[in-house]
Amino acid sequence: MLPLLAAALTLLACITAARSDVTTLSELTALEGRSIAAPCHYDPSLAAHVKYWCRGTFKDLCTMVARTDRASSDPRVSIVDKPTQQVFTVTMVDLTEDQSGWYHCGAEQGGIWTKDPSAAIYLSVVHGMSVVNSRLDGVEGGSVAVDCLYSMRYRDMKKHWCRSGDPDSCHFTGPDGRFDGPSVTIADDQVGAFTVTIRDLQMADAGWYWCGVGSKQTPVQVLVTPRPSTTSHPVSSTPVVALSTEHITSDTQLAHRHVMEAVVAFASFIVIVGVVLLARKIWNQHKKEHRRRQAEELKARLSVCHEDIDEGSLIFLNMDSQKMAIFSTE
């Protein structure tokens, strides 16, 4: 009976743990002397529970390092809980190699029969070098900078910056942790990082470089894009020039059109005047011809009357009485 009850309780604990889970990264790597921040996410039902960070291969046998309900015994480790975001964060600073190993972030459930939900993470603290950004993008004539990180054991050693494949191109820091060249500057904070700055970039500066200390080196790629064309400003003003030209052309065309309209109007006026003068001349010629014909007809009639008078007959017509009298002249 007791084994059956124990199995049931164990199963219940597993179900509870599965329902109220905690998740985090599976592993973290940091340079010796640097720091890490591990986010641990949890189920909303665990918002009011105590959160903790412990060290050990097995969760049930791990050594407590930090808890949210009391101050940490190690000043280099801190834990902050954000219940509204369902996450607590563990921060470890000034790391040393002997801090490498398994850690667990968990939420305390309470009770001897309840298994705390937790998540395991492996921390690797190494000595060597790394860079914040292994690719630098710059513009011709501009500048780029890279932060090279190193572990504490290299703090007092010279730092260098070399072009890959060209050992003679290396620049080394002096006793003050600096190197100042015409286009390259190295500044070492002598704590855990040095900054390399390349100024007045040229297209020939593109390529692979190494930032290093001692025998440790980390590759960095520098990319350089061509300087913006100096004709970009005139190009941008080209539409204005084109617009002005277009306006000038339009004004010229408008003036030409007005001139053509004036010429056409004047020509039309001339044609109309010519037509009127021609019509008047034709009409005058017609009247003159009509008068000439009347004169000829009258002359012809007079000629007939003269002949009749010569023959001795004269005819008078009384229009009122419609009487005709004929007198003989013989």
DSSP symbols for 84-144: GGTEEEEEE-S--GGG-EEEEEEE---STT-PPPEEEEEEEEE-SEEES-SEEEEETT--E
pLDDT in tens, 197-214: 999 999 999 999 999 998
**Please, what is the Cα angle at 292 between 290 and 294, to 5 degrees?**
70
Please state which of the four CATH numbers 2.60.40.3680, 2.60.40.10, 2.60.40.1730, 2.60.120.560 is assigned to the domain occupying 129-225. Answer: 2.60.40.10
Give the fold, CATH level 3, of 16-126.
Answer: Immunoglobulin-like (2.60.40)
Where in the chain are all domains bearing CATH 2.60.40.10?
16-126, 129-225
Please, which residues have CB within 8 angstroms of residue 11's CB and are 6 or more apart in sequence? none
pLDDT in tens, 36-66: 999 999 999 999 999 999 999 998 899 999 9
Please, which residues have CB within 8 angstroms of residue 165's CB and are 6 or more apart in sequence? 208
Which of 99-103, 114-118, 201-205 is the least confident region?
Answer: 114-118
Global confidence as pTM: 0.54
Torsion from C-alpha of 181, 182, 183, 189, nearest 10 degrees: 30
pLDDT at 118 over 70: yes
Average pLDDT over residues 265-291: 82
Average pLDDT over residues 118-123: 95
Do the strands 216-225 and 135-139 form a parallel or antiparallel pair, or are they unpaired? parallel
Do the strands 36-42 and 87-92 form a parallel or antiparallel pair, or are they unpaired? antiparallel
